[in-house]
Amino acid sequence: MSRIVIALGGNALGKTAAQQQEMIQNATPSLIGLIENGNEIIISHGNGPQVGMISLAFAVASQHSGNVSNFEFPECTAMSQGYIGYHLQKGILRELKHKGMPWHVATVITQIEVEKDDPAFHNPTKPVGGFYTKEQAQEIMKENPNLLFKEDSGRGYRQLVASPKPIDIVEKDSILNLLDQEFIVIACGGGGIPVIRDEEGDYHGVSAVIDKDFASSKLAELVSADYLFILTAVDQVAIDFGKPNQKNLTDITVEEARKYIEEGQFAPGSMLPKVEAAITFAQSKQGRVAVIGSLEKAVQAMDGSSGTRIHL
């Protein structure tokens, strides 16, 4: 039996509640297939599009109605954990019932500690929300000089927010206890709610969005996982991505992955954090393997017939 942490990409979950449920319905047979094959799974997920949408919805509504307040990113990430966790629980329970499997599933609202002085607070790099044209992005930045937009992997312009590195998972004992009780645990959604710890040991939310790939790598180390699957909208990591000579990668060492990073092969804010998180996990212990692949192909990611495997 292998223990697998599966990180589901926020962009791969679609833009609307209906799309999200459809994406999850397509992905659950493959996720539950891993359990049928004798493995144990722990699920995390992104929230880039969702947290941006939630934040924007409150910002716009609060401008037009005295009955709606604006919400900061920690609260918006908490809402995204509930919204996505709800659909994941619903989809997984349905598949378990269909297969007659006696597992339980629960979402843990997860806070993740970050460093108060993380330099990332002064250099926003995490794309959130929807995609805009260059002209639309410039117009928004003119009206809101505190917002920053940048091009994201050839897909359009997106808002950038600070993305500090995760240092500890506050609810780690709850996660480990649920795993001991044979729960399928959904945790660290949206990279976790970023919090800083004060001198009394109390936690306070900070305005940022943690990259779920880094948070998932932390989670995978915490639960002593054998595999970290980072599932997104593409089947494999590529070099020369989007160019006529694009080459998809099937199996690479940590050393090769580092070389490709140095060559600038992976876009910051999208594929780069996935490859960096995969390296961190794969090098944490001999035998650990990270796979970057597509949402519906988790079973193939396990048997090596799809995805990009990264190992020492």
User: Using CB under 6 A as the criterion, which residues of the chain lie in contact with ligand CP when the complex forms?
Assistant: 9-11, 46-48, 190-191, 209, 211-212
The CB-of-257 to ligand CP minimum distance in angstroms stands at 19
Q: CA separation (Å) from 3 to 121, 135, 190?
A: 34, 46, 21
* Coil vs helix vs strand at 250: coil
Active site residue 212: yes
Binder to ligand ADP among 4, 5, 10, 169 (CB under 6 A)?
Answer: 10
Q: Which of 274, 293, 297, 307 is catalytic?
A: 274
Is 189 among the residues that bind ligand ADP (CB under 6 A)?
Answer: no
Phi, psi torsion values for 37, nearest 5 degrees: -85, 10
Is 267 among the residues that bind ligand ADP (CB under 6 A)?
Answer: yes
Cβ neighbors of 99 (< 8 A, separation 6 or more) are: 32, 36
DSSP assignment of 71-82, as one string? --HHHHHHHHHH
Sole window of 67-75, 83-91, 103-111, 237-245 interacting with ligand ADP (rule: CB under 6 A): 237-245
Cβ neighbors of 186 (< 8 A, separation 6 or more) are: 43, 44, 45, 85, 88, 89, 105, 106, 107, 108
Cβ neighbors of 1 (< 8 A, separation 6 or more) are: 38, 39, 40
Joined together, the tokens standing for residue 14 give 């679609």
| 284 touches 228 (CB < 8 A) | no
Binder to ligand ADP among 110, 153, 280, 306 (CB under 6 A)?
Answer: 153
**CB nearer to ligand CP: pick between 7 and 257:** 7
**CB nearer to ligand ADP: pick between 139 and 251:** 251
Provide the β-strand partners of residue 111: 193
Total residues interacting with ligand ADP, rule: CB under 6 A: 18
Of ligand CP, ligand ADP, none, which one does residue 237 interact with (CB within 5 to 8 Å by kind)?
ligand ADP
The CB-of-18 to ligand ADP minimum distance in angstroms stands at 18
Active site residue 274: yes
**CB nearer to ligand CP: pick between 93 and 109:** 109
Residue 212, amino acid: K
- As annotated, the active-site residues are 10-11, 126, 212, 274
Residues binding ligand ADP (CB under 6 A): 9-12, 46, 48, 153, 232-234, 237-238, 241, 265-267, 270-271
